């Protein structure tokens, strides 16, 4: 009897890993929303630099963005990291996220995945949806941390509730497949519908598949939940 119990556990573990791997490899690369403008093309770089040097965190982030993108200034990840670092020291969540990405990639700073995760967490705990989504992906893939699908779902949910379309898509899939959360087709439909309404391109086809598994009453309730959804603003 113990032998078959153990075999059942192994099979279930294999299935769970397989589903998680499916989520990982099938991850969409587009949220369907337009990318955030780094800065207007007519920005006064000298004035922006002056504000940054005076300690204005948002100016420091904007200047870091210019250096990271090579827009209006010569591309320099080291300079980007310097300005993101100054803003991050003032607890600016966007700067913490951007600086974390530089540490993860080893651009302008020594590569340090552990420090990157620390920065992501600091930003995520302030409510930054991008950082919350990134943490979800890290735990989903086991990138620098032990794989933890429950923890991944927690962060995807927080990002989804703040309006991040990719997180909404991912959370919808998780509710459909039961990865890190119980199977719940109503919640799956809700999140996929919300993501689709924001233009996330993979959500509509996934939504049709989920809908085919639902009763009319379940679909009605899912539509009601989707219609009632209203995200708060993400922390800058």
Please tell me the predicted confidence (pLDDT) of residue 171.
98
Pair 115, 48 in one domain: yes
Pair 164, 226 in one domain: yes
- Average confidence score pLDDT of the chain: 88
Pair 107, 163 in one domain: no
CB 207 within 8 A of CB 98: no
Mean pLDDT of 175-202: 98
pLDDT at residue 9 is higher than 90: no
CA–CA separation, 142 and 40 (whole Å): 37
pLDDT at residue 110 is higher than 80: yes
CA–CA separation, 212 and 230 (whole Å): 26
CB 59 within 8 A of CB 44: no
Pair 108, 51 in one domain: yes
Pair 108, 63 in one domain: yes
- Picking from 126, 161, 180, the residue at the C-terminal end of a domain is 126
Q: Based on DSSP, count helices (H) and strands (E) in the chain, helices before strands.
A: 12, 0
Cβ contacts of residue 84 below 8 Å, gap of 6+? Answer: 60, 61, 64, 95, 98, 99, 102
Residue 29 lies in a domain: no
Residue 27 lies in a domain: no
Residue 85 lies in a domain: yes
CA angle 153, 162, 117 (to 5 degrees): 55
Please tell me the predicted confidence (pLDDT) of residue 119.
99
Pair 167, 101 in one domain: no
Please tell me the predicted confidence (pLDDT) of residue 13.
37
Pair 121, 152 in one domain: no
CA–CA separation, 191 and 67 (whole Å): 36
Pair 163, 197 in one domain: yes
Residue 113 belongs to domain spanning: 43-126
Pair 158, 110 in one domain: no
Residue 34 lies in a domain: no
Instruction: Report DSSP state, residue 40.
Output: -
CA–CA separation, 209 and 151 (whole Å): 26
Pair 57, 109 in one domain: yes
Residue 105 lies in a domain: yes
CA–CA separation, 234 and 128 (whole Å): 5
CA–CA separation, 170 and 165 (whole Å): 9
Residue 198 lies in a domain: yes
Please tell me the predicted confidence (pLDDT) of residue 42.
78
Confidence of residue 22 (pLDDT cuts 50, 70, 90): low
Residue 1 lies in a domain: no
Question: Hey, is 92 helix, strand or coil?
Answer: coil
CA–CA separation, 43 and 46 (whole Å): 9
Other CB atoms within a 10 A radius of the CB of residue 3 amount to: 7
Buried b (16+ CB within 10 A) or exposed e, 13-46: eeebeebbeebeeeebeebbeeeeebbeeeeeee
Residue 89 lies in a domain: yes
**Residue 108: CATH number of its domain:** 1.25.40.10
Q: How many domains, the chain? A: 2
């Amino acid at each position: 009897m113990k032998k078959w119990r153990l075999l059942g556990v192994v099979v279930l573990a294999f299935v769970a890993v397989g589903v998680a791997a499916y989520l990982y490899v099938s991850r969409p690369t587009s949220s369907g929303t337009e990318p955030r403008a780094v800065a207007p093309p007519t920005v006064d770089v000298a004035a922006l630099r002056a504000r940054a040097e005076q300690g204005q965190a948002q100016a420091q982030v904007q200047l870091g963005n210019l250096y990271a993108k090579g827009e209006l200034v010569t591309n320099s990840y080291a300079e980007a990291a310097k300005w993101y670092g100054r803003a991050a020291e003032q607890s600016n969540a966007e700067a913490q996220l951007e600086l974390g990405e530089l540490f993860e990639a080893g651009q302008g700073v020594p590569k340090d995945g552990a420090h990157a995760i620390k920065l992501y967490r600091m930003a995520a705990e302030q409510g930054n949806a991008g950082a919350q989504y990134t943490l979800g992906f890290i735990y989903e893939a086991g990138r620098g941390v032990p794989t933890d699908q429950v923890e991944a779902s927690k962060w995807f949910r927080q990002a989804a509730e703040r309006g991040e379309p990719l997180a909404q898509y991912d959370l919808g899939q998780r509710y459909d497949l039961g990865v890190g959360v119980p199977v719940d087709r109503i919640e799956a439909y809700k999140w996929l519908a919300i993501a689709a309404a924001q233009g996330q391109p993979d959500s509509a086809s996934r939504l049709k598949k989920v809908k085919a598994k639902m009763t009319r009453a379940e679909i009605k309730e899912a539509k009601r939940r989707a219609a009632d959804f209203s995200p708060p603003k993400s922390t800058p």
